[in-house]
Chains A and B, each alone.
Chain A
Amino acid sequence: MFALSADEWQALALSLRVATLSVIVSMPFALALAWLLSRRRFPGRLLVEALMFLPLTLPPVVTGYALLVLFGRHGWIGEWLAQFGIVFAFRWTGAVLAAAVMGFPLLVLSIRAAFDNVDRRLERAAETLGASAWRRFVTIVLPLSTRGIIVGSVLAFARAFGEFGATITFVSSIPGETRTLPIAIYELMSLPAGDAGVQRLTVVALVVALGATVGAAILGGSLWGRRRDD
Chain B
Amino acid sequence: MIELALSHKLADLDIDIRFSSAARCLALFGDSGAGKTTILNAIAGLLRPRQARIVLDGQVLVDTEAGIDMPPAAREVGYVFQDGRLFPHLSARANLLYASQARQRKATQFERLVDLLELAPLLERRPQTLSGGERQRVAIGRALMSEPRILLLDEPLTGLHREARVQVLDHLRRLKQALRVATLLVSHQADEVIALADEVIRVHAGTMTAQLDMAQFQSQRD
Contacts and interface: CB of A to CB of B under 8 A. Distances in A.
Given A128-B77, A130-B99, A130-B146, A121 B85 contact: yes
A143 B126 CA distance: 14
Given A130-B146, A229-B128, A230-B128, A125 B102 contact: no
B98 A126 contact: yes
A223 B11 CA distance: 39
B89 interface: yes
B111 interface: no
B127 interface: yes
A125 B81 contact: yes
B56 to A, nearest CB: 14
Contacts of A128: 44-46, 72-73, 75, 77-79, 143, 146
9 contacts: A121-B83, A122-B85, A128-B77, A128-B143, A129-B143, A130-B99, A139-B87, A144-B88, A230-B128
B48 interface: no
Most buried by B among A130, A144, A227: A130
Interface of A: 121-122, 124-132, 135, 139-140, 143-144, 227, 229-230
Contacts of A143: 89
A144 B99 CA distance: 18
B76 interface: yes
Nearest to A230: B128
Nearest to A142: B89
Given A229-B128, A230-B128, A144 B89 contact: yes
A124 B40 CA distance: 13
B53 interface: no
A140 B99 CA distance: 13
A127 B72 contact: yes
Given A125-B81, A128-B77, A230 B88 contact: yes
A31 to B, nearest CB: 18
Contacts of A229: 128-129
Nearest to A125: B85
Nearest to A223: B89
A129 B85 contact: no
Interface of B: 44-46, 71-79, 81, 83, 85, 87-89, 98-99, 102-103, 127-129, 142-143, 146
Contacts of B72: 124, 127-128
B70 to A, nearest CB: 12
A227 B126 CA distance: 10
Nearest to B84: A125
A126 B95 CA distance: 10
Given A124-B46, A127-B46, A131-B98, 18 more contacts: A121-B81, A121-B83, A121-B85, A126-B87, A127-B45, A127-B73, A128-B73, A128-B77, A128-B79, A129-B143, A131-B73, A131-B102, A135-B102, A143-B89, A144-B89, A227-B88, A229-B128, A230-B127
A128 B99 CA distance: 9
A140 B75 contact: no
Contacts of B76: 130
Contacts of A126: 87, 98, 102
A130 B102 CA distance: 6
A117 to B, nearest CB: 12
Contacts of B74: 130
Closest 7 CB pairs of A and B: A230-B128, A129-B99, A131-B102, A125-B85, A130-B102, A130-B103, A128-B79
Contacts of A130: 73-74, 76, 99, 102-103, 146
Nearest to B135: A230
Contacts of B127: 230
A144 B83 CA distance: 18
B73 to A, nearest CB: 5
A129 to B, nearest CB: 4
A121 B81 CA distance: 10
Nearest to A129: B99
Nearest to A127: B72
